Amino acid sequence: MKLIPLFVLIVSLLYCKMGLSQSQKGIAFQAVARTNSGVIMSNKQIQIRISILKDTLTEEILYQELKSVTTSPLGLFTILIGATEPAKISTMGAFEKINWTTGTYFMRVEIDSENHLQFIRIGQQQIQYAAYAFSADHVLAENIEGVLNTTQGGTGVNNITAFKLAMQIDKVNNVPDSLKILSKASIQALALKLDKKDTVSLSNRINQKMNKGEISASEIASSLGYLPFEIHFGAFTDTAKQMALINTATAVKWRDTIGQNQVAIGLNSSLEPTRLLVEKAGIYLVQYSLQVSNPQIANDEISIWLRRNGAAYPNSLRQFLTGAVGVKNFFSGQAIMVFGESDYLELFFSVKHNQTQLLKTSTLTNPSRPATPSAQISLFRIQ
């Protein structure tokens, strides 16, 4: 099997400080990406994983985020940690809940230069100080000296009597509600309230409507304030032998569905099941594997790549060499891809020798083991 070399990025930390915008807070982070030989990586799409650690002993992660960025012609990139940015792929933990006044924190930086979700740690250092805007979120009342006026969030007084006068509640008494005299307006309002019989009738009507399935998605969203989380994924395999002509792009066929939601198998122009139709737009994690063998020659070259809507997806090509004659080789790859609504994905391969083929392994005994498909692929929407 031919291994693909991995370029390690060297990131020069220019500055790391707390930032505050009009709408949200974050840590401004700027760096320059270089290869392991020191060459600037310009106009390169990479993934950055930033972790805020409580300490370096247990390495407990308080917050972590994954972002996809593109370097400038000078290899420079800038992100705002903790803020909502278009390039953010996923987060773990709540940045806004970190109490910056309780101790020392550390920042770990990891890089994935080839978008394989295989991260390399390039640096970890202590965050030397927290900005006033962050610390102020956790100011304790006993730390305040003097009297704060109302414009600063205080009362402007330093005793209960003066507070009652300022709030115009000095004449409020402690008579129980049951003994207080009600106004005519209050009596009329209480008379219009639903009684127990009306409440039961309304509940029955709501239950009947739910049982009939008459509540729409817009009604649910209006009631809850959000739509329940939807999972969009697809997992497909094929157990048949698949072969290709020499130096000819051949689409992998998918004839078995493991599970799917909003991703379905579609036919190409030759009526072959090669297309995976994505019904919901978004960012998807794509992972695939092929079991390959050649019964006649060793070290045949096989190329594998992805196509979106009939066009080759950038930087998705993987090239491998088969092993000895008849040996089964397991080749895999993954990518993070952006799909629009009703886009489709295809996995292609080509060979140098016509006996190089995709084939399955049947179930095995002693011990009992399941079969291995000739090809398998999965798509999972992450954003």
Single out the residue in 136, 158, 193 at which a domain terminates.
Answer: 136
In this structure, the answer to whether residues 126 and 250 fall within a common structural domain is no
Q: How far is CA 325 from CA 31, 290, 301, in A?
A: 48, 17, 13
Q: Return the pLDDT at 104.
A: 82
Three-state SS for 97?
A: helix
In this structure, the answer to whether residues 125 and 238 fall within a common structural domain is no
pLDDT at 5 over 50: no
Residue with tokens 């006649």: 296
CB atoms under 10 Å from CB of 160, counted, come to 8
pLDDT tens digit sequence for 227-280: 566 789 999 999 999 999 999 999 999 999 999 999 999 999 999 999 999 999
pTM above 0.85, yes or no: no
In this structure, the answer to whether residues 120 and 241 fall within a common structural domain is no
C-alpha span between 161 and 159 (Å, rounded):
6
In this structure, the answer to whether residues 115 and 251 fall within a common structural domain is no
Read off the pLDDT band of 365 (50, 70, 90).
Answer: very high
> Residues 208-234: what's their mean pLDDT?
69
pLDDT at 67 over 60: yes
User: What is the DSSP track for 182-245?
Assistant: PPHHHHHHHHTS--HHHHHHHHHHHHHHHHTT---HHHHHHHHSSPPP---EEEEEE-S-EE--
> Residues 358-379: what's their mean pLDDT?
94
> Residues 43-64: what's their mean pLDDT?
88
In this structure, the answer to whether residues 242 and 116 fall within a common structural domain is no
In a domain, 274, yes or no: yes
In this structure, the answer to whether residues 237 and 372 fall within a common structural domain is yes
CATH number, domain containing residue 338: 2.60.120.40
C-alpha span between 124 and 55 (Å, rounded):
11
Give the whole-number percent of the chain exceeding pLDDT 70: 78
In a domain, 78, yes or no: yes
In this structure, the answer to whether residues 375 and 257 fall within a common structural domain is yes
In this structure, the answer to whether residues 259 and 369 fall within a common structural domain is yes
C-alpha span between 226 and 219 (Å, rounded):
10
C-alpha span between 323 and 295 (Å, rounded):
11
Taking phi first (over 0 means left), then psi (-120 to 50 degrees means alpha), and beta for anything else, what does residue 263 get? beta
In a domain, 212, yes or no: no
Q: pLDDT averaged over the chain?
A: 82
Q: Which residue has the higher pLDDT, 262 or 100?
A: 262
> Residues 9-22: what's their mean pLDDT?
42
In a domain, 369, yes or no: yes
In this structure, the answer to whether residues 121 and 249 fall within a common structural domain is no
Question: Would you say the C-alpha torsion 131, 134, 135, 136 has a positive or negative sign?
Answer: positive
pLDDT at 359 over 60: yes
Read off the pLDDT band of 33 (50, 70, 90).
Answer: confident
Domain that holds residue 67: 10-136
In a domain, 266, yes or no: yes
In a domain, 201, yes or no: no
Single out the residue in 121, 136, 151 at which a domain terminates.
Answer: 136
In a domain, 151, yes or no: no
pLDDT tens digit sequence for 115-133: 888 888 888 888 875 544 5
> Are the beta carbons of 250 and 244 closer than 8 angstroms?
yes
Single out the residue in 92, 109, 136 at which a domain terminates.
Answer: 136
Three-state SS for 39?
A: coil
Read off the pLDDT band of 209 (50, 70, 90).
Answer: low
In a domain, 141, yes or no: no
Q: Return the pLDDT at 160.
A: 78
> Residues 145-166: what's their mean pLDDT?
75
In this structure, the answer to whether residues 241 and 377 fall within a common structural domain is yes
For residue 98, give every residue at least 6 positions away whose Cβ sits within 8 Å of its Cβ, in sequence order, or none: 52, 62, 63, 105, 134
CATH number, domain containing residue 51: 2.60.40
Number of domains within the chain? 2
Q: Return the pLDDT at 269.
A: 92
Q: Which two tokens stand for residue 172?
A: 């409020």
What is the rounded radius of gyration, in angstroms, for the C-alpha atoms of the chain? 31
